[in-house]
Amino acid sequence: MTNIQTTLFPPRTVPELIKDIKRLTEEIQELYCADNIPLVIGYSGGKDSSAIVQLIWNAISELPLEKRHKKIYVITTDTLVENPFVSAWVNKSIERMKKQAKEEQLPIEPHLLTPEVSQTYWTGLIGKGYPAPRHTFRWCTPRLKIDPSNRFIRNVVRANNEAIVVLGTRKTESQNREAIMTKREQGRVRDRLCKHPHLPSSLLYTPIEDWRTDEVWLYLMQWENPWGHSNKDLFAMYRGATADNECPLVIDTSTPSCGSSRFGCWVCTLVDSDKSLAAMIQNDEEKEWLQPLIDVRKELDIQNDREKRDFRRIWGTVHLFERNIDGQTSIEPVPGPYTKYWREHWLRLVLEAQVKVKKNAPDDMKDITLITQEELSEIRRIWLEEKHEFDDSLPRIYEEVTGEPFIDSRPGVGHSLLGSDEWDILSEVCGEDTMHLELMARLLDTERQFYTKSRRVGIYGDLEKCFETSSRSQNDAIDNAHQKRNLKNAIAKEDINQVKRELKKTLNPEDRQPQQQLSWGKIKFG
């Protein structure tokens, strides 16, 4: 392995590291016994979070039972699109923590958190049609990672007034991380504790902030994991996720480490490629069954996906932006969510990958799930109730791919006045006019949704929204957006003549090319 860790701190000898571990043990014990504020440890299953859990576990286990008076929560968030091996590793670790903490009478309480079904990756991408995340639209991170942990910490704060959040972040990870952590030090309210930057009534504690990567590995290799999970297996997992499958034996703090491996979501399009998953497959032929995951990610990772997306934003309006094309400024619509065709395509793609993975996976990974039944049910609900796609295509696609009928846990969801037959008739009547089909479908389904209500309050407003978003053709909707933009700019410039011209275009429809009013008979029979 040729990647050498950047030196931001001078290396320490092994005796110096041992001395620092003893100091940290005493510090953790003092912090624990000082008050009744519970600790919340962020645990990902990686080397840094494993090190801090191990440090705190060993420190608290040395205290007598009568001093183990407050809870220590260990929380990990499963995004449901994690690297399958990492996910399985963390789940086993959490289970072992629970068992061992109970046997040792430790106040450590592990929790496996997941995002709400309405906020998962596939619910957003396939259900609502959100495009694959980019740095300019990083919609996934808050929903999948931040919100579940923040919600748990807020509940702890609500019950205890305060909480101490413990993280395994280190200054040597990058110069940017060092700058952020150094700045936080200036605002410390207690020794080694600073205010959490985002959570009120929460303090932040980073015990290994000055450790180097090789020191983390040295600690994990030389100190046995106290809850029975193998640190050597963790090291092997990092080694397998390194491109050259090489990690040196850590014998002292001068040895270069293999800490550059990064485990993340297998669908992540915020990076060029999932190097850790690709390296796992490259280094181990027995992991080739994971190849369908890489294939799905490659198809999602398309820089220019405008043709796959609606010309309107998700709420149905056209927004314009200035786009630079070959040095020329072009004012174009901001692309919106994936269209119906592509949302159904992504669903089929993921289900096909899931079938292949389950077929070829080893016995201990046969229960792997790329998309859960709860997510499928929520996607179906969104398509039916929010997108008004009453052809109800999800059960059909599911059965075509898996060979099994889709069983929805929601009662009565399959019973509707409108279905695939009505959709086919409507599609035949509207022909290639997709906007006309969308308008008719939205109007009919809006009426259906109000049909069973005892009070139909709000139906006129909802019908009006259907016309606002779907009554114009694509060209007319874009032209209307341009007129509104031109009028707004003219008002901002106080150009009265331009304002009059734009208002004349808007308010004098007789100046436009007259459109022939078509009846249903003419549409159907010509």
Task: Give the Cα separation of 20 and 8 in Å (integer).
Answer: 18
Task: Give the Cα separation of 114 and 372 in Å (integer).
Answer: 12
Nearest alpha-carbon partner for 98 in 110, 89, 106, 86? 110
- Within-domain flag for 341: no
Nearest alpha-carbon partner for 49 in 167, 133, 215? 167
Lowest mean pLDDT among 179-188, 192-201, 471-480: 179-188
CATH code, domain with 153? 3.40.50.620
Task: Give the Cα separation of 347 and 393 in Å (integer).
Answer: 10
Write down the pLDDT at residue 511. 53
Check pLDDT > 60 for residue 252. no
Provide the residue range defining the domain that includes 391.
Answer: 354-415
Report strand pairing: 108-113 vs 72-77. parallel
Nearest alpha-carbon partner for 57 in 187, 203, 166? 166
Confidence of residue 95 (pLDDT cuts 50, 70, 90): very high
Q: How far is CA 68 from CA 164, 225, 377, in A?
A: 16, 20, 44
Confidence of residue 53 (pLDDT cuts 50, 70, 90): very high
Task: Give the Cα separation of 389 and 363 in Å (integer).
Answer: 39
Give the max Cα distance, the chain: 90
Nearest alpha-carbon partner for 216 in 12, 33, 421? 12
Check pLDDT > 90 for residue 344. yes
In angstroms and rounded to an integer, the radius of gyration of the C-alpha atoms of the chain is 29
Six-digit token string for 349: 């793609």
Six-digit token string for 395: 């059960």
- Within-domain flag for 452: no
- Within-domain flag for 338: no
- Sign of the C-alpha dihedral computed for residues 175, 180, 183 and 184 taken in this order: negative
Check pLDDT > 50 for residue 2. no
Domain boundary among 177, 200, 229: 229
In the beta sheet, which residues pair with residue 321? 332
Q: What's the total number of domains in the chain? A: 2
Task: Give the Cα separation of 24 and 62 in Å (integer).
Answer: 13
Confidence of residue 163 (pLDDT cuts 50, 70, 90): very high
Task: Give the Cα separation of 306 and 243 in Å (integer).
Answer: 33
What confidence tens digit (pLDDT) does each residue in 487-496 have?
A: 888 888 888 8
Q: How far is CA 353 from CA 37, 221, 371, 386, in A?
A: 46, 37, 10, 27
Per the listing, tokens 């065709």 go with 341
Domain boundary among 184, 204, 229: 229
What confidence tens digit (pLDDT) does each residue in 504-522 have?
A: 776 665 555 555 555 555 5
Cβ pair 252, 218 in contact under 8 A: yes
Report strand pairing: 188-190 vs 193-195. antiparallel
DSSP 8-state code for residue 134: B
Write down the pLDDT at residue 131. 94
Six-digit token string for 279: 């390296």
Domain boundary among 395, 415, 435: 415
Helix (H, G, I), strand (E, B) or coil at 2: coil
- Within-domain flag for 524: no
- Within-domain flag for 279: no
Instruction: Compute the average pLDDT of residues 125-138.
Output: 92
DSSP 8-state code for residue 397: H
Cβ pair 502, 483 in contact under 8 A: yes
The answer to whether residues 42 and 184 belong to one domain is: yes
Helix (H, G, I), strand (E, B) or coil at 317: coil
Instruction: Compute the average pLDDT of residues 275-295.
Output: 82
Lowest mean pLDDT among 52-66, 214-228, 315-329, 425-439: 315-329
Question: Which residues, 6 or more positions from 319, have their beta carbon under 8 angstroms from its beta carbon?
Answer: 313, 333, 334, 481
Within 10 A of 185 (CB to CB), how many other CB atoms are there?
A: 12
**Angle at Cα 223 formed by Cα 219 and Cα 225, nearest 5°?**
110
Write down the pLDDT at residue 523. 54
- Within-domain flag for 153: yes
The answer to whether residues 170 and 36 belong to one domain is: yes
User: Within 339-473, where are the H helices?
Assistant: 340-360, 373-381, 393-402, 420-430, 434-451, 459-470
Write down the pLDDT at residue 242. 63
- Within-domain flag for 218: yes
Q: What share of the chain is helix, strand, coil (3-state, %, to 5)?
A: 55, 10, 35
Confidence of residue 187 (pLDDT cuts 50, 70, 90): confident
- Within-domain flag for 319: no
Task: Give the Cα separation of 504 and 213 in Å (integer).
Answer: 68
The answer to whether residues 225 and 359 belong to one domain is: no
- Sign of the C-alpha dihedral computed for residues 428, 433, 435 and 439 taken in this order: negative
Q: CA torsion 385→389→390→392, rounded to 10°?
A: -100
Task: Give the Cα separation of 353 and 358 in Å (integer).
Answer: 9
Residue bearing the bigger pLDDT, 154 or 174? 154
Q: Whats the size of the chain, residue-wise?
A: 526
Nearest alpha-carbon partner for 80 in 121, 111, 131, 42? 121
